[in-house]
A and B are shown apart, each in its own frame.
Chain A
Amino acid sequence: MQNPPILRWLPATTLACGIALSFVPPDATRPLRNLVRDALRPGQLAVHATADTVRHWLKSPMHSSETPQSAAARDEELRSLRLSNRQLEIQSARLREKVKDLTEQSGLSPVSPIHPPLATIQLIEARVMGAETAALWRGKQFLAAGAKNGVAESALVLENSRPLVDLGNDADISPGDAVYAGRIVIGKIADVGRYSSTLRLVTDPGYSGRARLARRTSRGLLAFGAEGTLVADGSELCRLTHITDPVNVGDEVFTGGADGVLPTPMYYGQVVRAELEPGAQDWSVWVKPAAATVRLETILILRRAANPERILAN
């Protein structure tokens, strides 16, 4: 028996439809995409809930692979760490006392009580949105669900191709706030939306920041040197400008312009090339940012704000 014509032509028709659809602009197909994704959302939630349940069940003590010996060893380690922590606290308190005594002896003690600082800082943890989440966010997938409740995001953030961070005005983030991953400088906040912000990486064009050279001594200590400006032009290396002191390849670069907000300088990267052109006063220094080696998942945003204690005191 011969197949009906529709079945004989089905493969060719399917291929032709597929090729024809390839010419349709992505924006025109967005409603279909949204429909499919919205329809799949209950299933995805169910899958996530099931996966979480299974994960918790596997992690429960009944199914834990931890032996009594390893648990005892862990408890012992915890106890010793607590003890060493306590010792450090005592040592720190003694040193603080010593510094206070020395300051008083040298006659440098302040005459009036110390005022609280005008600016306070807070390190806020945020997550960098993955490619898929960022695409859904930019495609207004999440927003579609909350649109009825007045949820909206700034077009400045959504139409930008920079990495997205999941905090925005709702967390009082401002453009220019420094972004770190541990002690490594990642970049700055570029644009701030209502719930998300974009990130200007250290290597992105337009990035600039105060930076200070440091050289590791033979005893492993860091000796800080000249200060300059780290600028990026979009390539994988940054330039350190306004440096007149001699520079060596391998020198470390830290944040400069210490205004006392952070207890220690943050790390930019390492000098990979340093040249002094004939007749020039400034060195040409190229820095390889350590941020390039960091996997961006969780970051810290440095938020500066006026100290309410000072404001209220006045």
Chain B
Amino acid sequence: MKFVLIAACTYAICALHSAIAHDLAIAGIAPHLILAGLVVIVVRVGQAQGVLLAAVWGVLADCLSEGRLGPQIVCYAIATLILRYAANQSRINSTWSLAALSLPLIGSVLLINQVCRSFADGRSIDFVPLAIHSAGSALYTGVIVMGAAYVIRLFASDVTERSATASHSVSNQWRMLTE
């Protein structure tokens, strides 16, 4: 069930990213929906699943852009390892902390990816505008990460509350029986 859900998420996010990410651009800066989705999902799965997911999404992101395959696989996998490490250390306990951690991670991933591509293709790079653009895109993506994480947390807490209420009634019944 979880595998089907992740596969559906993968398709939906890649389709969304390739179809409307450019339309969402503000002042020429577009969010990176694949990275946003990866950050939100990776903190909710195990390390091995997270790394596998990062590799698959890296390949897909590489396929959706021009140039060589590979740089995004490496960047996404490293970002996932860092996120998993932070999650294991219980550093990610709120949507704010997730957004705060994802911001530099996404910025670095975007920047490193572009630099790697430029070097691989033998193109010169103008570092400062590239860094500014990556930072803007990371900020935009970070806001999306925060929103998505908040919505997921709301749903998750709703489900937890409902299950807690259900177990209470059973407990009450048991008490009544023993009284």
Contacts and interface: CB of A to CB of B under 8 A. Distances in A.
A308 B14 CA distance: 52
A135 B64 contact: no
Nearest to B16: A47
Contacts of A10: 48, 51-52
A22 B14 contact: no
Contacts of B77: 11, 14-15, 18
Interface in B9-36: 11-12, 14-16, 18-20, 22-23
Consensus secondary structure, chain B interface? helix
Interface residues of B, number: 36
A186 to B, nearest CB: 21
Given A10-B48, A18-B58, A26 B11 contact: no
Contact of A18 (B15, B16, B22, B71): B71
B70 A132 contact: no
B68 interface: yes
A47 B20 contact: yes
A108 interface: no
Contacts of B60: 36
Contacts of A36: 14, 59-60, 63-64
A23 B72 CA distance: 13
Contacts of B66: 26, 135, 139
B101 interface: no
B54 interface: yes
Consensus secondary structure, chain A interface? helix
A47 B63 contact: no
Contact of A15 (B14, B59, B62, B74): B74
A6 to B, nearest CB: 8
Of all A-B residue pairs in the complex, the 4 with the closest CB atoms, nearest first, are A43-B15, A18-B73, A22-B70, A21-B70
Interface of A: 3, 7, 10-11, 14-15, 17-26, 29, 32-33, 36-37, 40, 43-44, 46-48, 51, 130, 132, 135, 139
29 contacts: A7-B48, A10-B51, A10-B52, A11-B47, A11-B51, A14-B51, A14-B73, A15-B74, A18-B55, A18-B71, A18-B72, A18-B73, A19-B70, A20-B70, A21-B73, A22-B70, A26-B68, A29-B68, A29-B69, A33-B63, A36-B59, A37-B18, A37-B64, A43-B16, A43-B19, A44-B15, A46-B15, A48-B19, A51-B19
Interface of B: 11-12, 14-16, 18-20, 22-23, 47-48, 51-52, 54-55, 58-60, 62-64, 66-74, 77-78, 81, 116, 120
